[in-house]
């Protein structure tokens, strides 16, 4: 009998037998239920976390800082009452812990009584990290602990961002008050500085005139005239300076407020840097970690580290301005160690950022990183941590004592200005008397000039002191300090609450998790459909066996299985779109692709069973088990064991799932065509191999199956 007649014979037999039609109908639709139930159950799992019960308890007694009560635990409870990410159950600490033990709640979060106090301890010399007590019952469910862990991390992040924002707002408000006072005195400071700059050359002219008169060089009258011209200006200038420095209490108050905010501000920045560096800025722990790792894992990690480094760089640059300002007013440059370590840290951060950028380009080219590059990155990241620890130690041990020294030095300089101005002014009457004496008696004038010259060292020293202070309070230094002190508290709070803004780009947006996971379950259902077919239907037609034509039997029965697979694929793919509402960008292509994949799977499964009999069924099931783990259908294959990573490129599921994903999310022609070509190659090569070797392998399979059939246990 010809192949075509045998196929028609099978079809007629099916159509005439209602029982056969029923079985085939069930076989056709059953794989669809497998796919649909799994897709529906996974439709939006992370959108239903509000049903997960998590106990929350606060024993926080609070603390007092910035002249107000702070209770972070109470604030957290208040915020969680409006939070719907999980089903928060508010209890006392004992009830929360016991509820988790008994399985009433998946997890509990307990805030200890010293939480607020420990949180604020970063402003002291002995900071203590606060702890959230997180307890989870992992026995109840394998996935929920991961979800609750993310919930706890979200709470931790929320506390830190709100806390840092609030603290920085308080600090910047205090700094604003000092900065506003400094700004209001800025005009007086500038006027004083200009007067001091003009006094210096006039002092030289006056000194020269007095000296000439004293020497009786014949130019006494000329000297007298020169002094007379300059004395009124000198006296008026000194009166203005004395008037400005007379408000020293206001200046002292402004300086004090400014200096008082600096330790708190620095402590906050150190806390932020500690969080950045403690979270981990190392790309790898050892130089062997990245040699054989794909860019999909490490390029996002590099970009995450780079964002944190940019944030750290901004903080370190701000600290550098503070050290520079303090050093300008400190004796013996006591803030030089701060500046040196700060500059070294800043340079290492920049170097490490550039190395990461180079590593990212290398991975994007498809190359691997050399061990030398990894060693260099490891060394620089270690240097960053060491520099930060050194800067942290300096700020804890030396900052406050050094600021006290700066405070006293600034107060002393301000007092010196007032004292020297008074001293200089007190000598003006003597100089004036001297002018009168010059006109009346050259001898008497000489005596008066001698008195003035004997005191001239003190006069000149006072002028020099004032000039030195004038140089220290230049416009650029005042402006640099005001830029820090007059920052907007609300804007700075927002920055420290959300220091990094993530700009997301969704290349191939998929609206829900069910649609995103549908390629895996759809492909899986098509394989399951093939397994059901070889389990319920006879693989070898009797007519072919009787005629001893294994090739004819292979083609005849393969045709039936392929037709069944195509029907299964049409039902599941059309149902995905129209019954479930799965988001598919290319609907028509999706349906045709599923039909094509079903044809390949049916050829592969049928051929294995036809060639190897019952042993072939075992092989097909084993392939299913391996492909479930190694096809990257749910988790990235890189997260699995090395065996699955190695076999991943050789599995039909890999290319079938990738191709279906293209139709669901949006087709990239190169990727789609490549996967289609591999699937076609699998189907064609399997058919050719089976057609060639079926006479030999089928005989062996039949002989093996006959032995098992005789046991009355197997089919």
Q: Render pLDDT for 252-300 as a digit per residue (tens, 0 to 9).
A: 666 676 677 788 778 878 877 887 887 667 765 544 444 445 566 678 8
Residue 205 — very low, low, confident or very high, per pLDDT cuts 50/70/90? low
How much is the average pLDDT of 709-713? 65
Segment among 83-87, 411-415, 460-464, 695-699 with least mean pLDDT:
460-464
- Of the candidates 457, 459, 454, 450, the residue with the CA atom closest to the CA atom of residue 428: 459
Share of the chain above pLDDT 70, in %: 67
Sign of CA dihedral 580, 586, 592, 598: negative
Asked if 175 and 258 count as a contact pair (C-beta separation under 8 A), the reply is yes
What is the predicted pLDDT for the residue at 584? 95
Rounded CA separation 263/429 (Å)? 47
Backbone angles phi and psi of 291, in degrees to 5: -60, -40
What is the predicted pLDDT for the residue at 326? 84
**Higher-scoring residue by pLDDT: 259, 185:** 259
How much is the average pLDDT of 542-562? 80
For residue 476, pLDDT over 80 is answered with no
Share of the chain above pLDDT 90, in %: 29
What is the predicted pLDDT for the residue at 522? 96
Pair of tokens at residue 8: 């028609």
What is the predicted pLDDT for the residue at 500? 53
The bridge status of strand 87-90 relative to strand 53-58 is parallel
3-state helix, strand, coil in the chain (%, to 5): 80, 5, 20
How much is the average pLDDT of 476-480? 50
β-partners of residue 109 are: 56, 134
Rounded CA separation 111/60 (Å)? 6
How much is the average pLDDT of 480-507? 53
Three state DSSP letters for 532-584: HHHHHCCCCCHHHHHCCCHHHHHHHHHHHHHHHHHHHHHHHHHHHHHHHCCCC
What is the predicted pLDDT for the residue at 36? 95
What is the predicted pLDDT for the residue at 227? 47
For residue 662, pLDDT over 50 is answered with yes
Rounded CA separation 573/588 (Å)? 10
All residues at 6 or more sequence positions from 658 whose CB lies less than 8 Å from its CB, including other chains? 671, 675
500: Cα separation from own chain's centroid = 7
β-partners of residue 87 are: 53
All residues at 6 or more sequence positions from 128 whose CB lies less than 8 Å from its CB, including other chains? 118, 121
Asked if 596 and 565 count as a contact pair (C-beta separation under 8 A), the reply is no
Residue 517 — very low, low, confident or very high, per pLDDT cuts 50/70/90? very high
Pair of tokens at residue 108: 């509990």
474: Cα separation from own chain's centroid = 40
Residue 460 — very low, low, confident or very high, per pLDDT cuts 50/70/90? low
Segment among 45-59, 96-110, 221-235, 576-590 with least mean pLDDT:
221-235
**Higher-scoring residue by pLDDT: 236, 90:** 90
Rounded CA separation 448/597 (Å)? 115
What is the predicted pLDDT for the residue at 2? 74
For residue 192, pLDDT over 50 is answered with yes
- Domains of the chain are 51-141 (3.40.50), 171-497 (no CATH), 523-709 (no CATH)
**Higher-scoring residue by pLDDT: 323, 409:** 323
**Higher-scoring residue by pLDDT: 544, 131:** 131
β-partners of residue 107 are: 54, 136
Rounded CA separation 70/119 (Å)? 10
How much is the average pLDDT of 555-570? 94
Tell me: the pLDDT tens digits for 596-615? Answer: 999 999 999 999 999 998 88
For residues 550, 552, 555, 560, the Cα torsion angle rounded to the nearest 10 degrees is -100
**Number of neighbours of residue 171 by Cβ within 10 angstroms:** 24
Asked if 275 and 455 count as a contact pair (C-beta separation under 8 A), the reply is no
Residue 223 — very low, low, confident or very high, per pLDDT cuts 50/70/90? very low
Average pLDDT, the chain: 77
Q: CA-based diameter of the chain, in Å?
A: 154
3-state secondary structure at position 508: coil
Edge-to-edge strand list for the sheet holding 87-90:
87-90, 53-58, 107-111, 133-136
Rounded CA separation 322/338 (Å)? 10
- Of the candidates 120, 137, 139, 118, the residue with the CA atom closest to the CA atom of residue 129: 118
All residues at 6 or more sequence positions from 14 whose CB lies less than 8 Å from its CB, including other chains? 20, 21, 24
What is the predicted pLDDT for the residue at 165? 53
How much is the average pLDDT of 423-430? 54
How much is the average pLDDT of 36-60? 87
How much is the average pLDDT of 389-412? 86
What is the predicted pLDDT for the residue at 352? 93
Run of H or E including 264: helix 248-278
What is the predicted pLDDT for the residue at 391? 93
What is the predicted pLDDT for the residue at 279? 67
For residue 1, pLDDT over 80 is answered with no
Tell me: the pLDDT tens digits for 317-345? Answer: 888 888 887 887 787 889 999 999 999 99
How much is the average pLDDT of 198-215? 54
Backbone angles phi and psi of 136, in degrees to 5: -135, 140
Rounded CA separation 325/317 (Å)? 13
Instruction: Sort 453 into a burial class: Cβ within 10 Å, 0-12 / 13-18 / 19+.
Output: middle
Pair of tokens at residue 325: 């300002």
How much is the average pLDDT of 471-482? 50
For residue 395, pLDDT over 50 is answered with yes
What is the predicted pLDDT for the residue at 13? 81
What is the predicted pLDDT for the residue at 219? 45
**Higher-scoring residue by pLDDT: 237, 50:** 50
Pair of tokens at residue 382: 């270690």
How much is the average pLDDT of 148-176? 62
Instruction: Report pTM.
Output: 0.62
Rounded CA separation 576/564 (Å)? 18
What is the predicted pLDDT for the residue at 216? 46
Rounded CA separation 444/140 (Å)? 108
Rounded CA separation 676/480 (Å)? 64
212: Cα separation from own chain's centroid = 74
**Higher-scoring residue by pLDDT: 401, 218:** 401
């Amino acid at each position: 009998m010809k192949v075509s007649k045998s196929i028609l014979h099978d079809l007629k037999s099916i159509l005439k037998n209602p029982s056969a039609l029923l079985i085939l109908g069930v076989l056709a639709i059953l794989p669809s239920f497998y796919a649909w139930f799994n897709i529906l159950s996974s439709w939006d799992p992370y959108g239903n976390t509000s049903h997960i019960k998590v106990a929350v308890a606060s024993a926080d007694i609070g603390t007092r800082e910035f002249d107000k009560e702070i209770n972070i635990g109470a604030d957290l409870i208040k915020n969680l009452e409006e939070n719907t990410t999980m089903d928060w159950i508010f209890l006392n600490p004992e009830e929360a812990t016991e509820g988790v033990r008994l399985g009433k709640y998946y997890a509990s979060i307990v805030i200890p009584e010293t939480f607020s106090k420990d949180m604020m301890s970063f402003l002291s010399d002995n900071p203590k990290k606060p702890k959230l007590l997180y307890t989870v019952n992992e026995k109840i469910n394998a996935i929920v602990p991961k979800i609750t862990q993310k919930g706890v991390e979200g709470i931790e992040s929320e506390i830190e961002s709100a806390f840092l924002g609030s603290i920085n707002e308080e600090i910047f408000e205090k700094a604003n008050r000092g900065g506003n006072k400094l700004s209001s005195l800025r005009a007086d400071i500038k006027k004083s500085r200009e007067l001091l700059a003009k006094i210096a050359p006039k002092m030289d002219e006056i000194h020269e005139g007095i000296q000439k008169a004293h020497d009786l060089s014949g130019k006494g009258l000329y000297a007298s005239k020169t002094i007379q011209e300059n004395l009124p200006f000198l006296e008026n200038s000194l009166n203005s300076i004395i008037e400005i420095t007379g408000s020293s209490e206001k200046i002292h108050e402004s300086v004090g407020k400014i200096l008082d905010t600096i330790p708190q501000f620095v402590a906050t920045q150190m806390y932020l840097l500690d969080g950045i560096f403690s979270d981990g800025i190392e790309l790898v722990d050892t130089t062997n970690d990245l040699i054989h790792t794909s860019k999909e894992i490490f390029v996002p990690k590099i970009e995450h580290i780079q964002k944190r480094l940019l944030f750290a760089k901004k903080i370190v640059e701000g600290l550098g301005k503070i050290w520079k300002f303090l050093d300008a007013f400190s004796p013996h440059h006591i803030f030089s160690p701060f500046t040196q370590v700060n500059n070294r840290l800043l340079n290492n951060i920049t170097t490490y950022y550039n190395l990461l950028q180079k590593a990212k380009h290398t991975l994007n080219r498809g190359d691997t990183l050399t061990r030398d590059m990894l060693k260099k990155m490891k060394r620089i990241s270690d240097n960053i941590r060491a520099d930060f620890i050194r800067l942290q130690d300096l700020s804890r041990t030396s900052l406050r004592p050094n600021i006290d020294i700066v405070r006293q030095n600034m107060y002393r300089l301000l007092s010196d200005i007032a004292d020297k101005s008074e001293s200089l002014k007190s000598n003006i009457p003597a100089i004036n008397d001297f002018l009168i004496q010059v006109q009346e008696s050259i001898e008497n004038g000489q005596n008066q000039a001698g008195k003035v010259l004997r005191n001239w060292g003190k006069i000149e020293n006072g002028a020099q002191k004032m000039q030195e202070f004038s140089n220290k309070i230049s416009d650029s230094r005042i402006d640099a300090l005001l830029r820090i002190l007059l920052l907007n508290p609300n804007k700075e709070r927002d920055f420290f609450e959300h220091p990094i803004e993530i700009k997301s780009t969704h290349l191939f947006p998929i609206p829900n998790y069910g649609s995103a996971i549908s390629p895996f379950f759809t492909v899986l259902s098509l394989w399951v459909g093939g397994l059901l077919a070889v389990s319920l239907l006879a693989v070898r037609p009797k007519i072919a066996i009787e005629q001893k034509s294994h090739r004819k039997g292979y083609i005849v029965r393969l045709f039936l299985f392929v037709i069944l697979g195509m029907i299964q694929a049409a039902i599941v793919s059309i149902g995905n779109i129209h019954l479930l509402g799965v988001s598919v960008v290319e609907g028509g292509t999706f349906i045709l692709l599923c039909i094509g994949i079903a044809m390949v799977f049916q050829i592969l499964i049928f051929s294995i069973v036809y060639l190897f009999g019952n042993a072939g069924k075992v092989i097909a099931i084993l392939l299913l088990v391996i492909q479930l783990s190694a096809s990257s259908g749910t988790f990235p294959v890189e997260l699995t064991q090395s065996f699955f990573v190695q076999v991943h490129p050789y599995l039909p599921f890999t290319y079938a799932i990738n191709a279906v994903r293209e139709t669901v999310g949006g087709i990239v022609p190169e990727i789609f065509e490549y996967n289609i070509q591999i699937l076609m190659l699998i189907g064609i090569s399997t058919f050719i191999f089976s057609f060639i070797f079926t006479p030999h392998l089928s005989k062996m399979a039949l002989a093996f199956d006959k032995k098992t059939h005789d046991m009355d246990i197997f089919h």
